[in-house]
């Protein structure tokens, strides 16, 4: 047995081990090195798995049996095209954000808790990767709680005291969501007698319309929707993103809600099956309207925010609307739009929040805690921090969906799916909501580029290179995936093709 | 009625717990509600896993009927998760009490609102 056969286990184990190591070493710098190395190792593993899946035939998957216990009795890890794409996103974002984190963490988190911060980051990463890779329903819950509990701690470490209240609120809402998910899984387990998702799917056909299965679907939908901040269950998100430390916001905004979408796709398409979810229940209509509300209400709210972080937090809720809108079509193009937007939006939001972390460092007075990035503090900042501001604008263009950026690809497929489903008015809705995105990105452009800086604050001071380089790699990613879509869109289409009507 | 007794208890605890989380403004009481809610799920798994007259899964000629041990194992994990959630929630409540001086949700919101107003006024002052 070579190391390569154990890649699926290593994917989770490497970052998982880095967390307790960081605690034992009790030193901020060393903990940073260990957890960052763990994240890069996870990223390398994800690339390895990606290549391995690429060699398989269409729709095939890698199955790994933990402890050599054969499924459905043992826990199975399963990697198909969709899984490996999400693994790439999560581990890649973690590796880049962690590499960029040092300067920001130095200023925003008390020195004595640096090693604990990095340990929590490692745990959160391990949890998110575990949710993605596992094919065991109860295992999903366990990893979900590992990542959630560590993200509550990460958010509570923010400098502002409102971070504590935000973390508490997220803990309550997140735990309710997770408990709903366990209730749903419990019903499924009671009815099918198995926890392996593929096994569940095979047994669910005969009892599809029984009441416990429908109840399970309802509990899982509400629970996961809480986790992915589907409008109107997004109340925890804006404050949590606003008051969390900058690097935490960058990582969570890019990955946590995206992994929840992945779980929803898994349960809908791989466990319950489309005929139950989309044909027998009015779920597509409900999801369509909630997505539209998110796209408009949240983006509209974003325009009127005075805090740049909160503005982009509301934009995240709006962008999640596009992802769930794609799901509601139940077509290959719709699902592909969701998956590709999940990927593209993750990269763009990661870049935006990382660069905002740079802005905050730039406007901080020496020796004092970094201030909130409110608009009056950002006036004329483009002259002082040209690269940081330009990066935010380019990633912002991707949020709008300007041709040539990654966001355009997702919206294009969303529009295709809307036309296919015979709802051309949705094209107008997508375009109209993009106008709202132009408005909130323009607010930043106006303040940073067109206003003049306060007198005495003209000196040039760019964010540190250790932060700028990883952030600009992400910015370059938003352009790259807008031009060469073979990786993002290619695999999204392949994954969607394998999931949608896989029985046919 | 009697054969559904365990389900009725489960659902009662579930609804009571969720109601406390939503209806109470005290951070500690909310956590109590959350714990009751989570505990109801332990029952949801455990009660159907019990066979009347069944033993622990021991392979011996004198025991023919045994209960499935898997639900117990799952719930052991869920209990650990519940304890961790409660501990973290209480720790956050302690920190909130330290910086805000209260654990009532409406008072915390009022204090936050006051900070936001002060921030806005400070900004106008600077402008």
ipTM above threshold 0.85: yes
Report whether A230 contacts A180 (CB < 8 A): no
Q: Check B45 against A186: CB less than 8 A apart.
A: yes
Residues from A contacting B (CB-CB < 8 Å) are 138, 141-142, 145, 149, 152-153, 156, 161-162, 164-165, 167-168, 171-172, 175-176, 178-179, 182-183, 186, 189-190, 372, 374, 376
Q: Which residue has the tokens 């409110």?
A: A374
Q: Could you report the per-residue pLDDT of B74-124, keeping only the tens digit for each?
A: 999 999 999 999 999 999 999 999 999 888 988 988 988 888 777 766 655
The CA distance from A495 to B59, in Å, is 45
Query: Which tokens belong to A17?
Result: 């081990």
| Whole-angstrom Cα Rg for chain B | 23
Residue A216: left if φ>0, alpha if ψ -120 to 50, beta else—which one?
Answer: alpha
DSSP H helices, A159-196, are 162-192
Q: Check A175 against B27: CB less than 8 A apart.
A: no
- Best of B22, B31, B74, B101 to disrupt the A interface by mutation (most A CBs within 10 Å)? B74
User: Residue A21 has what pLDDT?
Assistant: 93
The CA distance from A397 to A304, in Å, is 19
User: Residue A504 has what pLDDT?
Assistant: 38
Q: What is the pTM of this model?
A: 0.93
Q: Is B2 exposed, middle or buried (0-12, 13-18, 19+ CB in 10 A)?
A: exposed
Which of A344, A373, A340, A369 is CA-nearest to residue A356? A373
User: Residue B96 has what pLDDT?
Assistant: 93
Average pLDDT per 10 consecutive residues for chain A, totaling 504 residues: 82 93 90 94 93 84 89 89 93 94 88 92 95 94 95 91 92 95 94 90 84 91 92 89 92 94 92 82 89 92 90 93 90 90 93 91 75 82 86 92 90 91 89 92 89 70 86 92 86 86 50
């Amino acid at each position: 047995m070579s190391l390569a056969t154990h890649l699926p286990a290593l994917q989770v184990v490497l970052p998982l081990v880095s967390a307790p190591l960081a605690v034992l070493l009790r030193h901020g710098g060393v903990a940073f090195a260990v957890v960052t190395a763990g994240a890069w190792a996870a990223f390398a593993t994800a690339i390895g798995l990606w290549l391995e899946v690429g060699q398989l035939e269409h729709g095939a998957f890698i199955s790994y049996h933990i402890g050599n216990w054969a499924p459905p009795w043992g826990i199975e890890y399963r990697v198909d095209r969709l899984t490996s794409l999400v693994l790439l996103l999560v581990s890649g974002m973690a590796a880049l954000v962690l590499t960029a984190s040092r300067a920001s963490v130095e200023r925003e988190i008390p020195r004595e808790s640096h090693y604990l911060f990095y340990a929590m980051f490692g745990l959160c990463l391990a949890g998110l990767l575990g949710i993605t890779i596992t094919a065991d329903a109860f295992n999903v819950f366990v990893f979900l709680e590992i990542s959630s509990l560590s993200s509550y701690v990460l958010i509570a470490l923010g400098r502002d005291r409102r971070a504590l209240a935000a973390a508490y609120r997220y803990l309550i809402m997140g735990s309710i969501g997770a408990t709903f998910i366990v209730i749903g899984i419990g019903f499924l387990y009671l009815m099918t007698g198995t926890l392996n998702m593929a096994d569940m799917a095979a047994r669910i056909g005969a009892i599809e319309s029984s009441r416990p299965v429908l109840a399970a679907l309802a509990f899982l939908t509400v629970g996961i929707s809480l986790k992915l901040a589907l409008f109107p269950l997004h109340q925890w998100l804006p404050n949590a993103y606003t008051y969390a430390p900058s690097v935490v916001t960058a990582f969570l905004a890019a990955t946590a809600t995206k992994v929840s979408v992945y779980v929803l796709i898994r349960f809908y398409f791989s466990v319950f099956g489309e005929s139950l979810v989309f044909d027998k229940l009015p779920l597509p209509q409900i999801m369509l309207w909630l997505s539209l509300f998110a796209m408009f209400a949240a983006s509209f709210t974003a325009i009127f925010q005075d805090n740049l972080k909160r503005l982009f937090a509301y934009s995240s809720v709006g962008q999640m609307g596009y992802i769930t809108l794609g799901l509601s079509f139940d077509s290959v193009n719709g699902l592909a739009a969701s998956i590709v937007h999940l990927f593209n939006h993750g990269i763009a939001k990661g870049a935006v929040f990382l660069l905002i972390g740079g802005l905050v460092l730039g406007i901080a007075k020496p020796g004092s805690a970094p201030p909130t990035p409110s608009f009056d503090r950002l006036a004329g900042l483009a002259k002082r921090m040209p690269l940081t501001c330009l990066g935010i604008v380019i990633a912002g263009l991707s949020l709008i969906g300007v041709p040539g950026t990654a966001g355009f690809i997702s919206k294009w497929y969303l529009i295709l799916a809307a036309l296919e489903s015979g709802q051309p008015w949705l094209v107008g809705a997508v375009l109209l909501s993009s106008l709202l995105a132009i408005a909130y990105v323009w607010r930043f452009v106006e303040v940073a580029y067109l206003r003049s800086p306060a007198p005495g604050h003209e000196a040039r001071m760019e964010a540190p290179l250790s932060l700028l380089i990883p952030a600009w790699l992400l910015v370059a990613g938003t352009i790259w995936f807008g031009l060469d879509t073979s990786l993002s869109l290619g695999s999204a289409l392949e994954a969607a093709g394998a999931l949608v009507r896989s029985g046919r | 009625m009697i054969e559904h007794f365990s389900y009725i208890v489960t659902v009662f605890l579930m609804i009571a717990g969720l109601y406390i989380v939503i209806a109470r403004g005290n951070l500690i009481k909310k956590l109590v509600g959350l714990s009751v809610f989570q505990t109801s799920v332990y029952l949801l798994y455990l009660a159907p896993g019990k066979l009347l007259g069944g033993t622990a899964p021991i392979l011996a000629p004198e025991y023919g009927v045994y209960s499935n041990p898997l639900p117990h194992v799952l719930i052991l994990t869920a209990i650990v998760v519940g304890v961790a959630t409660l501990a973290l929630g209480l720790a956050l409540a302690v920190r909130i009490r330290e910086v805000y001086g209260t654990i009532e949700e409406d008072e915390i919101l009022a204090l936050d609102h006051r900070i936001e107003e002060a921030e806005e006024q400070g900004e106008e002052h600077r402008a």
